[in-house]
Chain A
């Protein structure tokens, strides 16, 4: 019941932020309508960081306790973080192509984001094809490593001066002058992170049921 109520609230909130982004927020002066990607691109990054934090905790928890609940959380966090990291990367490339004329440049923020995405991709491939007896331990190790890229991505923007980078620092440098834009960013960040929590919860429940079914299978064979 709690899960269904939360799903309903998040669905309504998503509809609300779509209304806000498309019908309330004004067009940005220099980039036009494409700037509205910002209201999904940045919150998707936040959602990916949140899921990676869960992956970090689950990895440490599994290595310390060998508890299958932590393995289920690892599975869930690996997939959800990869989903939102993909959304962040691909929307960023589309926006970059429209704003800079090229989808990707070799600068710290973009390279570190790509590294994070590649680690998450390899984690999910490992999960799909790895040796089942050692999978939880290997997932924990690679998951912890993937989670450690979050501070690298966040602080990479400081490595070079702003004029040497194409990726902007909108929030840190006092962008979003219009209050409607600031509100839109706040609401979309909140809702996308809530969506991330919902998907983490859903996938965790499915993983726990899968573990129970595996146990039943083993018992019925014996």
Chain B
């Protein structure tokens, strides 16, 4: 009976491509999430301080 050729090397490289691309994409999504989190942290404190300045100025106007 004819034995099939040994092509495990090609199989290895193909699966490396599959899992390499999938892992790289998931890693990239993780980096994106970290960047969004950092951006959100930088925005939220400034949004809170903006509203407190508005509150202070409206209180000082009403006292006059």
Contact = CB atoms under 8 A, between A and B. Distances in A.
B10 A34 contact: yes
Interface stretch (A65-73, A82-90, A158-166): A82-90
Nearest to A195: B22
A94 B10 CA distance: 6
Contacts of A30: 4
A32 B5 CA distance: 6
Chain A interface size range: 35 or more
Contact of B14 (A27, A37, A213, A217): A37
A90 B50 CA distance: 52
B46 interface: yes
B11 A34 contact: yes
B43 A95 contact: no
A216 B43 contact: yes
Interface string B1-40: 0101111101101110110011001000100110010011
A38 to B, nearest CB: 10
Interface of A: 27-34, 36-37, 40-41, 44, 79, 83, 86-87, 90-91, 94-95, 97-98, 195, 199, 202-203, 206, 209-210, 213, 216-217, 219-220
Interface of B: 2, 4-8, 10-11, 13-15, 17-18, 21-22, 25, 29, 32-33, 36, 39-40, 43-44, 46-47, 50
